[in-house]
Amino acid sequence: MAQNTGTKARQAPATASSAAAPAVLRQGRAADPAPAVAVAGQGTQNNTQPSIGSNESAKQPSEAMAADAASSRDASSGSNRDKAANHQRQLRLTMRQCNRVLLADYDLLAMEKWPNNARISAARRRRDLWLLAVAVAAVFFVGGMFGLLPAWLGGAGFGAFVTTLLLALPPVRRVFSSRPSNRELVQQRGQMLRDARRHVAHLEGADGLVWQCERMAAFNPALASHSFTRLREASKTHTLVRQLTERKYVRLYLFYLVEADKAYQRLQQAFLDSRQEGLEQGWVQSPLEEVAEGKAGTDLKSVPS
C-alpha cells in the first residue's frame, strides 16, 4: 500500500510535468528561434527609426545655421557696398570742389620777372641824377638869359636843359641806355600784381578755392598749417583778392596751391585705388554697367505710359 502510494506520487509529478511541457515547448522542436529573430528585428527597427529622426532633426539646425550665415554675409556685403559707395561719393565730391587747382598758372603767380628792390633803388638813383642835371641846366639857362652868367654859358645850359628833358621820353632814352626807368619798373610791378590778382579771382570763383581745399588736409597735412590761416579765412569770406596787395601774399597763395596740387594728386590716386578695389570685390559697378543702367533708365523714361 505504501509502495503503491509512493509510485503514484512519483507518477503524478511526472504526469504533471509532462502535461505542463507542451505549454512551454512545441512538439518535436527543442526551441523556436523565430520569435527571437522577430524580436531582434523589431529592436533593430526601433533603433533605426530614432536614428533617422535624429538625423533629420540634426539637419534642420545645420540648415538654419547656414541660412543665418548666408544672411549675415549678405548683410555684411551690403554694408561694405554702402560704405564703399559712400566713400567713393565723398572722394568724388572733394575732387569736384577742388579741381580748379589744376587750372593754376604757376609762372604767373611766381612773378619771376618781378623787379627787385636793387633794381628799383638803382633806377631811383638814375632818376635823381637826371633831375639834378635838369635843375643845373635850367639854372645856367636862366642865368644866361638874365645876364647873370655869360651868354655862351646860358646857351650851353639851354642845350643841356632841352637834351635832359628829351631823355624823359622812353624812345629817346633807349637810344642811350636800355635800362628801364623807375617809372617803368613801378608800372611793371603794378601790372604783374594786377594780373596775379585777376588769376586768383578766376581760381577762387564764387565759392572760394582755398577753404574748400582744406578738406584735402587728410592727404597733405601741410594744408592745415597755421601759415595758411589768413588765406583760409579770407577765402571763406570772399575777401582774398582784395587782400593780395603785395607780392609776398601772392607767393603765399602760390605755396598753398602747390601743396593743394600734391594733395589733389594723392586724392585722385586714392579714388582710383578704392574704385579698383570696389570693382574687384563687386561693391562698385563698372563704367560700362553704369552707362548701361543709365541708358536703360532713359529708355524706361521714354516709354509712354
What is the per-residue pLDDT across 130-172, written as a single tens digit (0 to 9) for each? 999 999 999 998 888 888 888 888 888 888 999 888 888 888 8
pLDDT at 2: 41
This prediction has a pTM of 0.63
Question: Could you tell me the residue ranges of all domains in the chain?
Answer: 116-179, 183-280
Q: What confidence tier does 283 reach under pLDDT thresholds 50, 70, 90?
A: low
Exposed e or buried b for every residue in 178-194, given b needs 16+ CB within 10 A? eebbbeebeeeeeebbe
| Residue-wise DSSP of 54-101 | HHHHHHHHHHHHHHHHHHHHHHHHHHHHHHHHHHHHHHHHHHHHHGGG
pLDDT at 257: 95
What is the per-residue pLDDT across 54-92, written as a single tens digit (0 to 9) for each? 444 545 555 655 555 555 555 555 576 777 778 788 888
